[in-house]
Amino acid sequence: MKAAAVVLAAGAGTRMKSKKPKVAHEILGQPLVRWVVDAAHAAGIGRVACVVGHEREQVVPLVEGDCDLVVQEQRRGTADAVAVCAETLGDFDGSLVVLSGDCPLITADTIARLVEAREQADAAAVVLTMELADPFGYGRIVRDAAGNVERIVEQKDATPDEAAITECNSGFYCFDARVLFDALGRVSNDNAQGEYYLTDVLEICRNDGRAVVGLRCDDASECLGVNSRVQLAEATRLLQRRINRAHMEAGVTMLAPDLVWIGPGVTIAPDVTLLQNVTLMGDTSIGEDSVIGPDTRLTDTRVGAGCVIDETVAIEAIIDDKATCGPRAYLRPAAHLCEGAKAGTHVEIKKSTIGKGSKVPHLSYIGDTTMGEGVNIGAGSITCNYDGKKKWSTVIGDGAFVGSDTMMVAPVTIGAGAVIGAASCITKDVAADALALERSDQRELEGWAAKRRKRQAEE
């Protein structure tokens, strides 16, 4: 398929009432414009030009690297937005798809169908149309006797018969690129808004004797744009259901799919169970037979097979096969639970490796630590890794046992098989197989409590 695409992403989106440009708002962790660009690439379109304008410094980082960036300095209408691509795509000879950067529901299949329809008909343009039960506000598609698109009539200009038409313009097109750029030079802005409209190109093509074809979209929701926070929520719900359905059809169990949110880059193996209030975002992967949730959020995290992840927040973490997390665990970037390891209730782990079969069961913080296999960390223990200026490392050898309420003041090494007595503050290295205790002697003053109560009663 010889095709290119233009993604229109220069608008301000004032109805969003935001300091961010409309196309930078996110659905399931991905900006609106990125959904459209990715759909174009998935359709087999390698060359994509993205037209930026309003607050472009926020939009450019979202698409640079796999798009040609074109700036529309003044927003003078859709035809002008495409025309500014003439220098970038003017030498292109083939099908040119025009997409809206605020329409994240468009699919790769529909984009490919647009290109195929234009090439089969050798048409100047193909308009993607949609059937709407309530077409109010949309441009109506008026067809000629042969079924080709004769014209698009806007709501305010429609006669009663034309207003009754339910086939509407979606705003998605596929053009013969050479025909398009020639016609753009003839578009006028002689209208109430003083703007250059891309729809005028269709009439120019018809007057030149070239066919303009209408292709009905199978699902009108693909064409929905996002112009407000309400529409952002509506599009999110539709994409959520689309993604969740695909995962369920591939063998993933969701007991409450409306309470599961999955980003487009997430991969999930068959026989995974996702419980309620699970959010999986970014480059996250889940291995088979794992149970995730309830109340779990994983971002850019790799989970192996047979894991149980309950009430956990994990960011840029690695969780190997048969490991368990939670409830109420927090894995920060570079946390690594090896096979069969455990991070239990109210446990926070940062930039640390928890060795195979090792356990941090509850109420502990482990940071900047390398922990061997078969280690047990008692409740309330922490690694004191920060001195106010620098982070220091802790090393805990295989089979070590750390008693409850232990402070390990880094840098410190605890040898393999060592035992640390509860309530110790370890500031020096501990040899392998040693017992380390650090406590003040316990003192007891007989009758002291009774004397205090007597004084308090007399005051």
Burial class (CB in 10 A: 0-12, 13-18, 19+), 213: buried
SS3 call for 350: strand
Half-sphere exposure of 184 toward its Cβ, with a 13 Å CA cutoff? 21
Nearest to 8 by CA among 124, 120, 173, 121: 173
Whether cis (ω within 30° of 0) applies to the bond prior to 361 is no
Q: Is 417 known as a binding-site position?
A: no
Q: Is 188 known as a binding-site position?
A: no
Q: Is 352 known as a binding-site position?
A: no
Q: Is 196 known as a binding-site position?
A: no
CA distances from 387 to 299, 344, 396, 409 (A): 29, 26, 20, 9
Q: Is 10 known as a binding-site position?
A: yes
Distance CA(312)–CA(292), nearest Å, equals: 9
Q: Is 101 known as a binding-site position?
A: yes
Position 423, amino acid: A
Residues serving a catalytic function are 362
* Residue 279 neighbours by CB under 8 Å, 6+ apart: 260, 261, 262, 296, 297, 298
Distance CA(5)–CA(111), nearest Å, equals: 10
DSSP per residue, 229-274:
HHHHHHHHHHHHHHHHHHHHHTT-EESSGGGEEE-TT-EE-TT-EE
Burial code (b: 16+ CB inside 10 Å, e: under 16) for 288-320 equals ebbbbbbbbbbbbbbbbbbbbbbbbbbbbbbbb
Q: Is 100 known as a binding-site position?
A: yes
Distance CA(428)–CA(417), nearest Å, equals: 16
Q: Is 11 known as a binding-site position?
A: yes
Q: Is 365 known as a binding-site position?
A: yes
The neighbour count for residue 88, using CB atoms within 10 Å, is 16
Strands 167-176 and 125-131: antiparallel
Q: Is 404 known as a binding-site position?
A: yes
Name the DSSP letter for residue 57.
H
Q: Is 241 known as a binding-site position?
A: no
Q: Is 151 known as a binding-site position?
A: no
Q: Is 216 known as a binding-site position?
A: no
Q: Is 139 known as a binding-site position?
A: yes
Structure tokens at 332: 């920060």
Name the DSSP letter for residue 442.
P
Name the DSSP letter for residue 459.
-
Burial code (b: 16+ CB inside 10 Å, e: under 16) for 121-131 equals eebbbbbbbbe
Q: Is 237 known as a binding-site position?
A: no
Dihedral of the alpha carbons of 20, 21, 24, 25, in degrees to the nearest 10: 70
Q: Is 22 known as a binding-site position?
A: yes
Q: Is 442 known as a binding-site position?
A: no
Q: Is 169 known as a binding-site position?
A: yes
Q: Which residues are annotated as a binding site for Mg(2+)?
A: 102, 227
Q: Which residues are annotated as a binding site for acetyl-CoA?
A: 379, 385-386, 404, 422, 439
Q: Which residues are annotated as a binding site?
A: 8-11, 22, 72, 77-78, 100-102, 139, 154, 169, 227, 332, 350, 365, 376, 379, 385-386, 404, 422, 439
Q: Which residues are annotated as a binding site for UDP-N-acetyl-alpha-D-glucosamine?
A: 8-11, 22, 72, 77-78, 100-102, 139, 154, 169, 227, 332, 350, 365, 376
